[in-house]
Structure 1
Amino acid sequence: MKFAYRFSNLLGAVYRQGNLNFSRDGNVVISPVGNRISVFDLKNNTSETLPFSTTKNITCVGLSPDGSLAIVVDEDGAAVLVSLITRAILHHFHFHKPVSSIRFSPDGRKFIVTKENVALMYHAPGKKREFNAFVLDKSYYGPYDETTCIDWTDDSKCFVVGSKDMSTWVFGAERWANLIYYSLGGHKDIVVGCFFEKDSLDLYTVSQDGTLCVWESDTELDGLILKKSQDKPKLPRQGEEEEEEESEERDKVEGEEGEVIRGKVETAKEREKKKNVRYKMMSKHFFNKEGDFNNLTAAAYHKPNHILVTGFASGIFHLHELPEFNLIHSLSISDQRIASVAINSSGDWIGFGCSRMGQLLVWEWQSESYVFKQQGHFNNMASLAYSPDGQYIVTGGDDSKVKQGWETPGLKGRCPVSSLTPHCVNKFLVTNVTFTSSGFVIVSASLDGTVRAFDLHRYRNFRTFTSPRPAQFSSLAVDASGELVSAGAQDSFEIFLWSMQTGRLLEVLAGHEGPVSCLCFSPVQSVLASCSWDRTVRLWDMLDSWQTKETLPLTSDGLAVTYRPDGQELAVATLNGEISFWNPHTATQNGSVAGRHDLQTGRKETDKITAKQSAKGKSFTSLCYSADGESVLAGGQAKFVCIYNIKEQMLIKKFEISCNLSFDAMEEFLDRRKMTEFGSLALVDEGAGDGDGVSISLPGVRRGDMSSRHFKPEIRVSSLRFSPTGRSWAATTTEGLLVYSLDGSLVFDPYDLDLDVTPASIRKQLRLQEWASAIVLAFRLNEKALKQEVLEKVPHEQISVVCGSLPDIYVEKLLGFIATCLEKSGHLQFYMTWAQNLLMLHGQKLKNRSGAILPTLQALQKSIQRHFDDLSKLCDFNMYNIRYAVALSKQRGLKRAAEEETEDQEEEDEELSEEMSEASLEDAEMML
């Protein structure tokens, strides 16, 4: 079995902190999640996590205008230049201070970085050939406090910077004669956003207290005059002119790192002499305030449509049309602080990020509907389970929610919005979740004393299992038939059995003398294995009056137990860091693995002992067998996940699930630079955790939530599961749901390759209509695009002949490739014909290698099942439409027939009335 698993996707977390960005076409949202970047394609409904990470949590992301480059900066100021096309890191750089914002110029030639009270302008990478990708051009000094926001003019001539000192500074990107800098006031709180009007120097500034200032400039963009060196006066005569030249020389200091431009206060004579750009406040507007808790926290402006979007700390957002300040829309999307706002290029979609809830929303304001609405578990995930076909993952978390809908990486983490709504809201955390064998029922256990079953057809809770006395369920298992549901209590040391059909309690299994930590049903027999803190594993026979069949003694407290897929072996993890393997039929131990030293835990900031000593008390808390049963996956209270070979009883590979230093227990040694005589500086709380800080203006007067504090969660792995296909495995961690897969599309692994195997020779075989040899050569070269081209060139009527003439060694490889193509290709019948002919002609040979080819067959079944579900929904929809059309046509036909009958009756009545009138006239004539 291959062990080249690579990080594939991060699910269960969509936003943590930082700024959101839309792609150039406006269909993709780029969101920072911890120390990684997730890309959500709203058009194709897929998600992808870029295969790189920073050392700490990401605070700001700058996207180039063409969408090919991104600059990612973490909390410490460490920057990474990333290519969004190749998903590769191009350059590392360190700003040495935390960066508040970053923005590329519209022409893509420069970008601005603000840190502390300085704005640094760099040459954009890729526009010039240089060794260093980040070349400093100018440094701009002006604000007295930290900078908060940036915006550029459309022609990249000027930029504006907002600051916490309530001032806004306009700087020239070039040495303009009539604009070097300009300072604007007018606010009484922190400037949150500053925006230029389209093709103009007019400004809008927004502050945290909900104030909007509209500034008008007396100069157009074309009126900026480039300063030349010969513009200086030749003969300095009076002292005032000499002081002017000296001040200009102080303003411009040439150095190795670029120009330094400092803001200063000009005298009245200087302002009269120079016809500089001037600003005038045209109007001031105020948003509706409801107290200090409703501070304005984020703002974005769409220049072509003149729409201003503002988000508040209470979860409300407003849409205004500028400059008239007309309210278009107002809505409350959450009860938490909106941390980031972004607008796509067309101005139709607005993205919102809520850091406390871990929520990401995309709102279409014209139709007033959600395009994208996701919220991960805003607390730790506790457990996960794969569906039997490996297509979906269900997770349970400490936030008392169960979420179903994380799709596996074969579809790039497709995330349907409808399936991400929580199916149950328990009062306490969800400790375990699992699927039944049918795949249509999810069962969850919680500490509130209930076990709930959910129907995935109707998305409702159709069964709730409870115990006679209140109990806290910490473990859960469902048998292979889906009829028996068992849950173990951690307070009463009992195991409860219910019937899925009736919902009644069948039996209470007693015998353990400690909390039941884990339960597992045998996949081939009606035997339940229970692991407890009383240092025993008990095997309960479900067919023989629920009696104890065997009792396996352990050397320490049992933490996890799992059966091998064939049911012939049992793996148990204990508190002393060992994994023991047992034969459940003979109750004998086959071997053990000492994994205590493989965890390599880090030292927490509050630990009084070293990491080496602390690792002696760590152990594995989650176990899972691989699909073939030859290895076992183990994880626990550490940042490593280990794979062990059972037969050799040795460590095969270790996976580091995170390198984020924002988590606790990541480093082996504490940073001595943070150690003082009073203790570690890392333990000093810096204020509120929402990013605004705690500002103390007067004695006894405090603003901000004083109950909010910074904290560093500890890295740990709470649950592990292998996919039924064997191509991937998933882990619930402090970061979220991490998926590792055998992604072979990016790996060039040719076999039987020689000089004659070239794309030209393969296409020559296609021209000669030698289909089988062309397929063999394409698979020897092992290029995906070429293999797909060769397969699709084969005529449909020749598929059965080609499949029969293929060598046996290429049948399995071709079948796996067809399973991969079937997921994304629209040629459904064509690839289904290939699969059918391969299975029919080589079925007996494949049956002899069923163990090795099982993951390929399961992947093929998963692809076919997905297409079946999609097509069946479409067919049902079309069938209902056809029925409706037929009924409507019948109704119209009956109506038309009734109208015709009415017309005929009216004609008959008219004829009858005419006859009667004629008869009456004749009678009258006769009487006369």
Structure 2
Amino acid sequence: MKFAYRFSNLLGAVYRRGNLSFSKDGDSVISPVGNRISVFDLKNNTSETLPVSTTKNITCVGLSPDGNLAILVDEDGAAVLVSLVTRAVLHHFHFHKPVSSVRFSPDGRRFVVTKENVALMYHAPGRKREFNAFALDKSFYGPYDETTCIDWTDDSRCFAVGSKDMTAWVFGAERWANLVYYCLGAHKDVVVGCFFEQRSLDLYTVSQDGTLCVWECDTKPDGLLRRGPKETEEREEGEESRGGEEGGPQEGEVVRGRADRSRQDAGNKVVRYKRRGKHFFNKEGDFNSLTAAAFHKKSHLLVTGFASGIFHLHELPEVNLIHSLSISDQSIASISINGSGDWIGFGCSGLGQLLVWEWQSESYVFKQQGHFNNMAALSYSPDGQYIATGGDDGKVKVWNTNSGLCFVTFSDHSSSVTALTFTSRGFVIVSASLDGTVRAFDLHRYRNFRTFTSPRPAQFSCLAVDGSAELVCAGARDSFEVFLWSLQTGRLLEVLAGHEGPVSGLSFSPVRSVLASASWDRTVRLWDMMDSWQTKETLRLTSDGLAVTYRPDGQELAVATLDGEISFWDPQTATQTGSIAGRHDLQTGRKDTDKITAKQAAKGKSFTTLCYSADGQCVLAGGQSKFVCIYNIAEQILVKKFEISCNLSLDAMEEYLDRRKMTEFGSLALLDTVTLSLGGKGRHSDLSLPGVRKGDMSSRHFKPEIRVSSLSFSPTGRGWAATSTEGLLVYSLDARWSEAREEWAAAIVLAFRLNETALTRETLESVPHEQISVVSSSLPDVYVEKLLRFVGSALESSSHLQFYLTWAQSLLTLHAQKLKNRSGAILPTIQSLQKSIHRHFEDLTKLCDWNIYTIRYAEALSNQRGLKRAAERCLSEEEEEEEEEGGSDVASEVSMEEESLTLLLGS
């Protein structure tokens, strides 16, 4: 499976927007990241991004009480039901309107979705397969403005809904006679949270101005009376007639409330609420509004977060302040508490922060922050264990590829980081920035130990370090020069001048001291580091050079140009060996504000980053597009394209116009941003600059555009990473879907159904050696012959000889009788298998015979040398003894010893 790379993980972004959720055991936190969700295991300190995605950015997540199901809802109201056990999508649904919150009932039988001013209660999907997993039960109308929050009672009999109209509504989930709906209004601002007390109908409501209202109910949960059958029929008839009057018949029961009076049926003791207290948290007024709140019922702990980044912990109902802390300088967007009440999760969308705080010990359990601006560069460590990233926020972060978490952040740069790389030993990271500095960071002491500057201020756009980690060079965007420093001393060695345009790419040869620099002046210059840093060769390009990289063996050079081509050069002879026209493979989308088609816009696109594969046979290319392309260099053809994102919340994703956004005056996006000229007829409309719209002089709203800024292959060749608008995407060859569940037989059957040889080989080789006989016995009869034929063909080229021979032996032994009945059809397969085994037998026989002769020769040579050394040792000992005795018969004995030694050596 050379090109079967699949999405493995998403790094560089830990939280964007939406609500945080803890797992059932409380050891993991689920965070929405763009149109995906990431699961952070706090016990094992790892992260995993699920291979499921929605159409647009996720705004709310609903988690089932057992922790097996999750409902993901995006900006447009499109919902996806996901199994957190199998990581698979179970159902798609569309609410047709933006959804503010989703909440499952504690018993897991229902869930409530709030959109606009209505609360919709659905039957939760069960274990039985259903045609429609979301069955609408009731529709609750009451608030006059958009709803904001939901909370259920412990027994799932009632739920409360907060609204922007400063009211909170209590609805009965069942047909209760003494509680249909109840309206609570005592706030002067938007209700942010509403929470039921444990095993009670008492309620707490929190508003945006920092006000807490405590509501006491005169009825216990057991005091709710179920409505009789006759009353139910009359009630349903009345609701259906009212529903038909206001917009036609609706599925399920419709409950419509009125704020002037709470609805209960006559003849019963009605449920009533009384405000028992009113408390104020916010002392700063309008400058620090309350943005998020969470309540833990068992410990009576209320957590409130504010726009200034401060959060408070209060104990209810006494409202005692336990703790207060400032965790950020941005607004707290979401708060969640785990089941035990020990850990509190905070999400800050402004900075992309995710924090987990243990309030009893007052310490951080988990603290992660991604790049809150675009990523610009990445680099793999030589062992492939770490990935370093640099962003437009001026930070350099180092990520562990196994855990998916960032363990160190360097914030020394004051402007965007444009390029970075590891040294050959992997202990030093060198980064270039637009602030005019190149910095070296030590991963042992986690500090900036070198800072390289130029004589004149320059904005560095590219960077390269030689193989010996002695030379550091950076290209300037404004002065058209390449600066060369010594990493050991930090001194500026040379300024390489010669380019007539901004330097866009640098690359050192892996085997020689030659530097390649690409520039907008349509040239690539090769600089000899051993010969006074002179220009060795100048390669003429057809267009502006954007990126340059050497092949791992240093025998080839790849250059990406502005016309969308990738050209390959021989650095020894300075001749072009080939080129690939990749402009049509980019398939760029159409921006919302574009007045031309996507096909016309693609003519101005090009690849901006290149990377060779580990074996040097392919090149990976990306640019201002949602696609990353892999090309075969020898054949000069496109091998595979990867779509890195399907998030329509990003710009330049759609290829065609959306007719729903078209009006009689043109595109809706153009109408929002165009300022009409008042000069009369014939004047055209100009796009206004960001932040100068009338009535909104300080806001700068933009829609991020999808693009790939940097690519890098793993040194092991088992994966590659790309920095994009979504984050740091990691693609890998390691298949988790068959190994995790250990369903080897099912995986083999699915691989044969897909009819891909490479996939079948990878699936077969992922089976453990000790499980081969078990898997062979559980295979269906239809696939036994196919697998045997595949094993025979794989033996021809595979190096796993014993592995495939074990497969052949197990299949022939366990299915002997079935294969014997089909001897006529199976005969060609058996003959092919016998031919492969016989050929390997002959090769191994020759190799074994040669090895036997070599071993015998080495043994004889060793014995001869050993006997000679023993004889010399014996002779020296005898001479010493005779000298001590001083006897007269020394000569005769020596002669006798020599004769015996010659006889021994002769034998």
TM-score (norm 2): 0.79
Q: In the superposition, relative to structure 1, how do residues 355 and 789 fare at CA in structure 2: closer, same or farther (>3 Å)?
A: farther
Aligned residue for 2:439? Answer: 452
Equivalent position of 2:396 in the other structure: 402
Letter matched to residue 72 of structure 2: V
CA–CA separation in structure 1 for the residues paired with 2:331 and 2:263: 48
In the other structure, the counterpart of 2:722 is 731
Give 2:253's match in structure 1, choosing from 251, 254, 259. 259
Q: Which of the numbers 565, 570, 574 marks the counterpart of 1:578?
A: 565
TM-fit CA distance, 1:426: 1.6
CA contact (8 A) 2:176 2:225 kept: yes
Deviations for 1:385-412, whole angstroms, at most 9, x for unmatched residues? 00000000000000011111x122xx2x
TM-aligned CA distance change 1:479 to 1:266, over 3 Å: closer
Aligned to 2:100: 100
Letter matched to residue 625 of structure 1: Y
How far, CA to CA, are the matches of 2:114 and 2:463 in structure 1?
52
Give 1:640-659 correspondences, 5 Å limit.
640-659=627-646
Report the alpha carbon displacement of residue 187 of structure 1 after superposing the two structures with TM. 0.5
Partner of 2:537: 550
Question: Structure 1 pair 127/4, CA: closer, same or farther in 2 (3 Å)?
Answer: closer
Write out aligned runs for 1:471-482 (5 A): 471-482=458-469
What does the per-residue CA deviation read over 1:221-252, in whole Å, with 9 as the maximum and x for residues that have no partner? 0111111114589xxxxxxxx9x999677679
Change (3 A) 1:671 1:389: same
Are residues 300 and 414 of structure 1, via their aligned partners in 2, closer, same or farther at CA, if it must alter by over 3 Å? same
> 1:623 offset after TM fit, Å?
0.2
- Measured in 2, the distance between the counterparts of 1:558 and 1:245 equals 72
Give, as a single letter, the amino acid of the residue that structure 1 aligns with 2:63. L
Partner of 1:285: 279
Aligned positions of 1:117-156 closer than 5 A: 117-156=117-156
Which residue number in structure 1 is paired with residue 878 of structure 2?
none
Could you tell me how far 1:670 is from its partner in structure 2?
2.1
- Deviation of 1:19 (Å): 0.4
In 2 relative to 1, CA 784–165 (structure 1 residues): closer, same or farther, beyond 3 Å?
farther
Count of residues in correspondence between the two structures: 746
Cα distance, 1:684 vs. partner?
6.0
Aligned to 1:665: 652
Aligned to 1:604, the other structure's residue is in SS state coil
Alignment of 1:329-408 (within 5 A): 329-404=323-398, 406-408=399-401
What displacement does 1:778 show? 14
Alpha-carbon deviations, 1:865-902, whole Å to 9, x = none?
A: xxxxxxxxxxxxxxxxxxxxxxxxxxxxxxxxxxxxxx
In structure 2, what is the equivalent of residue 36 of structure 1?
36
1:307 corresponding residue in structure 2? 301
- 8 A Cα contact 1:252 1:259, kept in partner: no
Could you say which residue in structure 2 is the equivalent of 1:853? none
Q: Which residue of 2 aligns with 1:532?
A: 519
| Residue 678 of structure 1: how far off its partner (Å) | 4.0
Instruction: Give 1:430's aligned residue.
Output: 417
Please state if 1:517 is matched with 2:504: yes
Paired residue type of 2:188? K
- Superposition RMSD in Å: 2.9
Shift of 1:423: 1.3
Output one character per residue of 1:888-925: Cα deviation in whole Å (capped at 9) or x when no partner: xxxxxxxxxxxxxxxxxxxxxxxxxxxxxxxxxxxxxx
Shift, 1:255, TM fit: 5.9
| Aligned AA (2:729) | L
Offset, 1:415: 1.7
Q: CA deviation at 1:682?
A: 2.9
Alignment deviations for residues 161-200 of structure 1 (CA, whole Å, 9 cap, x no partner):
0111111110000000111100000001110000000000
Partner of 2:586: 599
**Structure 1 counterpart SS, 2:604:** coil
CA drift of 1:676 comes to 2.4
CA contact (8 A) 1:745 1:784 kept: no
Return closer, same or farther for 1:198/1:635 CA change in 2, 3 Å cut-off. Answer: same
Q: Which residue of 1 aligns with 2:158?
A: 158
Q: Deviations over 1:462-483 (max 9, x none)?
A: 1001111111111100000000
Change (3 A) 1:673 1:499: same
CA apart distance, 1:354: 0.7
Secondary structure of 1:614's aligned partner: helix
Counterparts of 2:88 and 2:437, CA distance in 1 = 47
Structure 2 contact 181–264 (Cα < 8 Å) conserved: no
- Measured in 2, the distance between the counterparts of 1:789 and 1:439 equals 43
Greater displacement, 258-267 / 639-648: 258-267
Pair 1:654–1:429, CA change in 2 (3 A): same
SS at match of 1:809: coil
- Whether 1:324 aligns to 2:318 is yes
Pair 1:653–1:754, CA change in 2 (3 A): closer
Report the CA distance shift for 1:99/1:786 in structure 2 as closer, same or farther (over 3 A): farther
Taking the aligned partners of 1:365 and 1:547, their CA distance within structure 2 comes to: 63
- Compute the displacement of 1:288 (Å): 2.5
Question: What is the rounded CA distance, in whole Å, between the counterparts of 1:257 and 1:185 in structure 2?
Answer: 30
Say whether the 8 Å CA contact 2:560–2:607 is kept in structure 1: yes
> Counterparts of 2:514 and 2:290 in 1: how far apart (Å)?
59
Aligned mates of 1:552, 1:97 — CA distance in 2: 57
Q: Is the 8 A contact 1:424 1:461 kept in 2?
A: no
Aligned to 1:810: 800
5 Å-filtered alignment, 1:869-888, equals none
Corresponding position of 1:50: 50
Instruction: Please state whether the residue corresponding to 1:292 is helix, strand or coil.
Output: helix
Mapped to 1, the partners of 2:265 and 2:730 lie a distance apart of 62
Task: Report the CA distance shift for 1:130/1:478 in structure 2 as closer, same or farther (over 3 A).
Answer: same
Alignment match of 1:743 (pick from 699, 709, 734): 734
Distance 1:316 1:705 in 2: 27
- Separation in 1, partners of 2:75, 2:495: 52
1:716 is the counterpart of 2:707: yes
Aligned equivalents of 2:236, 2:526: Cα separation in 1: 92
Q: 1:335 to 1:685 in 2, by over 3 A?
A: farther
Q: Percent identity?
A: 78
Counterpart of 2:366, as a letter, is: F
Q: Which runs of 5+ in 2 are unaligned?
A: 674-694, 750-760, 775-796, 805-843, 848-907
Uncovered stretches (5+) of structure 1, i.e. residues with no partner: 234-241, 687-703, 759-776, 791-806, 815-841, 846-928
Tell me the equivalent position of 1:199: 199
Q: 2:405 aligns to what?
A: 415
Question: Of 668, 685, 705, which residue of structure 2 is paired with 1:681?
Answer: 668
* Structure 1 residues 458 and 246, CA gap change in structure 2 (3 angstroms): closer
Give the AA of the match of 2:179.
L
CA contact (8 A) 2:195 2:204 kept: yes
Distance verdict in 2 for CA 1:172–1:522, change over 3 Å: same
> Following the alignment from structure 2 to structure 1, what is the Cα–Cα distance between the partners of residues 96 and 183?
27
Listed one character per residue, the Cα deviations across residues 232-288 of structure 1 (whole Å, up to 9, x for unaligned) are 89xxxxxxxx9x999677679896611111113687998875411100000000013
| Mapped partners of 2:282, 2:161: distance in 1 | 25
Aligned residues of 1:779 and 1:787 also touching (Cα < 8 A): no
Counterpart code for 1:809: S
Match of 1:498 in 2: 485
Cα drift, residue 645 of structure 1: 0.2
Task: Render the CA deviation track for 1:762-795: whole Å, top value 9, x for unaligned.
Answer: xxxxxxxxxxxxxxx99968435965999xxxxx
Structure 1 residues 630 and 249, CA gap change in structure 2 (3 angstroms) = closer
Specify the code of the residue in structure 1 equivalent to 2:400. Answer: E
Q: Is contact 2:295-2:301 (8 Å) kept?
A: yes
Aligned CA distance change for structure 1 residues 52 and 232 (closer, same or farther; 3 Å): closer
Distance 1:202 1:789, change over 3 A: farther
